[in-house]
Amino acid sequence: MPAGTLGATAVDTHELRAFVEEVFEPLQRADQRRWAHAYLGALLSVPGKKTLQRLAKAVSPAPAAAHGLQQFINASPWDWGPVRRSLARAVATQGLPRAWTVAELTIPKRGVHSVGVHRRFDTDLGRTVNCQLAIGLFLAAEVGCVPVNWSLLLEESWCADEKRRSRARIPASVTARPAWRHILDFASDVSVTPSLSGIPWALDLRRTADAGAVMEGLARRGLDFVCEVGAAEPVLPAFGVAPAAGLGEWMARSHPRQPQVVVRQAVTGRLERLAVHCGEVRLPGRAGEPSGGPRVYRALARPVAVGRPGARYWITSLADWRAEEVLALARHATAGEAAVRDLGHFGVQDFEGRSYPGWHHHMTMASAAHAFTRLTARDRVMALTVPDSVCA
């Protein structure tokens, strides 16, 4: 295939090749790595919607390009797990990581055959939509907030129907599970990787069905965290015996005195003063879950103040951190939501295939494209040439 320059946004050829060699090193076959290079380059350079047809035309006008990309995404059996772990290590090594966080991604769909598609009420839109729902794991770093792993939420209607499972090639190990269990799956992957396990977690669990299970699960895996929770989140006193109470009620009852004042830098860059109560709590045990035992957490509450919408509450394992440091870490909990909006530029909502492996392959590539833009200087105008052998 003749060498050709990819599209509207020029990318440094050498940087992209080095990135592909590092992140896609787990792919065993050289042809898979070549197609990863081609697909990634097309995602970075093709403007607008990233359909497979448009990506293939950016690689080559030859029919072999469309066939090759189709095979690489939808038919090739490569394992996305090791590639995503390699991507996470690359971001952690080069991006100056600050925190892990998660965010939901809603992908609107017109039909009913794309894997995981269902109807659900979208609270942000205020209406019921036909969509796929995914949860992403993001590494909030100095270079930006980068997605490094994904889970697709499947309802029982998908998991219990053998014909649907077979058509979508859903692995037998995949079951219908609540969102909080997907978060703990992410945590399990992180906890066994030494270079990643020391990064703390910052989560907004106010709308999570079982926030306590997430926090206890992170603690059991040896991962530090700060999680924002609702006022009704049940807690127990750190010492002694008493019935569970909502965190808001417990903090109000236990801390009637003047709160301590902490100083932090606002988003605008100016210093702001916050009133914060601090205390110690335990979490109630759950049937079927390992006992939390005497594990004690630190609770922080920001009371209602003039000009603010309401009280806010956090629970953290970081007992030795100053309140200012905990609140600074907690601000990363919303970084994933902002990154989700940016991911539209990399085709996360443009996958037209119907299979479970195809969806995960495409999301892996879109995440890699997003990471590449964060880890490299995008203001240098250099041509990206697709390897001559990619369609051989």
> In DSSP terms, which residues pair with 129 in a beta bridge?
120
pLDDT, one tens digit per residue, over 251-280 is 888 765 567 788 776 666 777 778 899 999
| Residue 134 pLDDT > 90 | yes
Contacts for 257 with CB less than 8 Å, ≥ 6 apart? none
Q: Report residue 285's pLDDT band, with 50, 70 and 90 as the boundaries.
A: confident
| Residue 8 pLDDT > 70 | no
Q: Are 13 and 38 in contact (CB under 8 A)?
A: no
| Residue 291 pLDDT > 60 | no
Q: Are 153 and 356 in contact (CB under 8 A)?
A: no
Q: Please give the average per-residue pLDDT across 351-367, as a whole number.
A: 96
Q: Give, in order, the Cα–Cα distances in Å from 50 to each of 17, 163, 231, 357, 369.
A: 21, 29, 42, 18, 12
Q: Please give the average per-residue pLDDT across 187-216, as a whole number.
A: 95
The DSSP letter of residue 385 is B
Q: Please report the pLDDT score of residue 111 as a whole number.
A: 84
CB atoms within 10 A of CB 184: 18
Q: Please report the pLDDT score of residue 209 as a whole number.
A: 87
Nearest to 176 by CA among 151, 152, 159: 159
| Residue 80 pLDDT > 90 | yes
Q: Please report the pLDDT score of residue 257 as a whole number.
A: 58
Which CB contacts under 8 angstroms, 24+ apart, belong to 259-263? Answer: 259/301, 259/303, 260/323, 262/322, 262/323, 262/324, 262/327, 263/324
Percentage with pLDDT > 90 across the chain = 69
In 82-126, DSSP assigns E strands to 97-108, 118-122
> In this predicted structure, which of 53-57, 120-124, 157-161, 237-241 has the lowest mean pLDDT?
120-124
CA distance 62 to 253: 71
Give the chain's mean pLDDT.
87
Q: Are 367 and 84 in contact (CB under 8 A)?
A: yes
Q: Which two tokens mark 188?
A: 């399990």
Q: Are 202 and 214 in contact (CB under 8 A)?
A: no
Q: Please report the pLDDT score of residue 222 as a whole number.
A: 95
Q: Please report the pLDDT score of residue 120 as a whole number.
A: 86
Q: Which two tokens mark 232?
A: 């009704």
Q: Please give the average per-residue pLDDT across 85-101, as a whole number.
A: 94
Q: Output the DSSP codes for 163-208.
A: HHHHHHT--TT-----HHHHHHHHHHHHHT-HHHHTS-EEEE-TT-
User: CA Rg, the chain, in Å?
Assistant: 23
Q: The whole model's pTM is what? A: 0.89
| Residue 242 pLDDT > 90 | no
Q: Please give the average per-residue pLDDT across 360-379, as a whole number.
A: 87
| Residue 225 pLDDT > 60 | yes
Q: Which residue has the tokens 């939390």?
A: 292
Q: Please give the average per-residue pLDDT across 226-254, as a whole number.
A: 91
More confidently predicted of 121 and 46: 46
Nearest to 241 by CA among 291, 188, 284: 284
| Residue 5 pLDDT > 50 | no
> In this predicted structure, which of 34-43, 149-158, 293-302, 346-355 has the lowest mean pLDDT?
293-302
Backbone φ and ψ of 256, nearest 5°:
-75, -10
Q: Please report the pLDDT score of residue 376 as a whole number.
A: 86
pLDDT, one tens digit per residue, over 144-201 is 999 999 999 999 999 999 999 999 999 999 999 999 999 999 999 999 999 999 999 9
The DSSP letter of residue 258 is P
| Residue 124 pLDDT > 80 | no
